[in-house]
Structure 1
Amino acid sequence: MSTADDPDLADIQRAHWQDTYATHPGMYGERPSAPAVHAARAFRSAGAQDVLELGAGHGRDALFFAREGFAVRATDFSSVGLEQLQRAARARGVEERVSCVAHDVRDPLPLPDASVDAVYAHMLLCMALSTKEVHALADEVRRVLRPGGVFVYTVRHTGDAHYGVGTGHGDDIWEHGGFAVHFFSRELVQALADGWRLDEVFACEEGDLPRRLWRITQCLPR
């Protein structure tokens, strides 16, 4: 059995996503995800003007945020996905509101302290990241958010049908069909909310399996 501390796992996953986006451009379609629609409402209610999206992929949600009037910083470790996002932003006339940066979330976020109003991550935290790396990323999100900023993220959880299926890498990370997923426990969600105002942990589903998710909304105190 591999372990979550294996430094090669995330690199293998990066190559897998690069190939997947290249083979299936625009694989998630153009419609925004349901969590993005919720996030836009939460961000607008908080008075946010700019959004950092982590794990933007080919950009269906980033483009939606831009159409909703937000300035969007989109990051992903797949340059192929981001190239598709940039082309789509130009085609839809929102390129001035979308900036793209290739970035591995195992590294510090390339932004100054207290520099964004809102952060969004749809199933990014539950990729091939160890619990230690997830906590480090949450700390980085807290660092770059302005006081009162909102963080909306989704994760697959331990009630998902694929939990415990396939190749185990330790630390609740299971690989199925070439994709490694860190399935979150409720305890991990609570731990990541320490020092935040936890507004909601909402159970939802996505896809044909269906994938079982939690959509978490939390706010940084002012």
Structure 2
Amino acid sequence: MTDTPGTGPGLESALAHAQRAHWQQTYAANPGMYGERPSAPAEYAAEVFAAAGARDVLELGAGHGRDALHLARTGFRVLAADFSPTALHQLRTAATDQELVDRLSLLAHDVRDPLPLPDASVDAVFAHMLLCMALSTEEIEALVAEVRRVLRPGGTFVYTVRHTGDAHYGAGTGHGDDIWEHGGFAVHFFPRELVDALAEGWRLADVHPFEEGELPRRLWRITQETPR
């Protein structure tokens, strides 16, 4: 396993700084908080990536790694990125225990900064509920542009977001730009118009509604591809 140096932290808003600290504390207090089983979107992404002939996969917001580990077990070379050193330490330990260190690299990185990767360097990108964190619309647009930059022609991007039909939308503390904080976690809830805007210049293959968790959270799973 290799660790890829990340870029330094950019200028953060007070909300972004608070959320970084909150996630760090949450991972420290709840090791392996999401369990060992991969998410349903990760299982879907593994099938889509395999069908497309992908080999090198970037996961954004990997956390403690349940999905990155699944992708590695499936046979992909995975670069797992997260802004929490605590989460990445847990992922490194799990990868060692599961003998997956030869298929997994780690990247400490905040997605508000440009991705420290060359153009057209990965076949696929996966992000489960990363784009709907405490990111402004401008930051999300910049991130999707970075994803497109690092994807090879015909590359696949699978991501999930909570949307404005979710029960927590409009609840808690509002921060503007469709960002609402509930229980200490800030979420940018996506209207469908934002999904469509982010797909401009891509081939939008699928927007799949689904539910997850006890509330339940209401999400979209989006699949889009770069032109060949």
CA-CA distance at 1:192 after TM superposition: 0.3
What corresponds to 1:97 in structure 2? 103
**Residue identity matched to 2:65:** G
> 2 CA distance for matches of 1:29 and 1:124?
18
> 2 CA distance for matches of 1:212 and 1:50?
29
> 2 CA distance for matches of 1:146 and 1:85?
26
Are residues 1:216 and 2:222 paired? yes
What corresponds to 1:25 in structure 2? 31
What corresponds to 1:122 in structure 2? 128
> 2 CA distance for matches of 1:162 and 1:13?
17
Match of 2:116 among 94, 106, 110: 110
CA-CA distance at 1:10 after TM superposition: 1.0
User: How do 1:1-222 and structure 2 match up within 5 A?
Assistant: 7-222=13-228
Where do 5+ consecutive residues of structure 1 fail to align? none
| Secondary structure of the structure 1 residue equivalent to 2:34 | coil
CA-CA distance at 1:83 after TM superposition: 0.4
Question: Can you list the C-alpha shifts for 1:139-192, whole angstroms capped at 9, x where unaligned?
Answer: 000000000000000000000000000000000000000000000000000000
- TM-score (normalised: structure 2): 0.95
CA-CA distance at 1:6 after TM superposition: 7.3
Structure 1 segments (4+ residues) deviating >6 Å:
none
Question: Can you list the C-alpha shifts for 1:115-162, whole angstroms capped at 9, x where unaligned?
Answer: 000000000000000000000000000000000000000000000000
CA-CA distance at 1:19 after TM superposition: 0.3
> 1 CA distance for matches of 2:219 and 2:95?
28
> 1 CA distance for matches of 2:14 and 2:57?
30
**Residue identity matched to 1:215:** R
Question: What percent identity do the matched residue pairs reach?
Answer: 74
> 2 CA distance for matches of 1:76 and 1:86?
12
Q: What RMSD, in angstroms, separates the aligned Cα atoms of the two structures?
A: 0.9
Question: Can you list the C-alpha shifts for 1:53-98, whole angstroms capped at 9, x where unaligned?
Answer: 0000000000000000000000001110010000000000001111
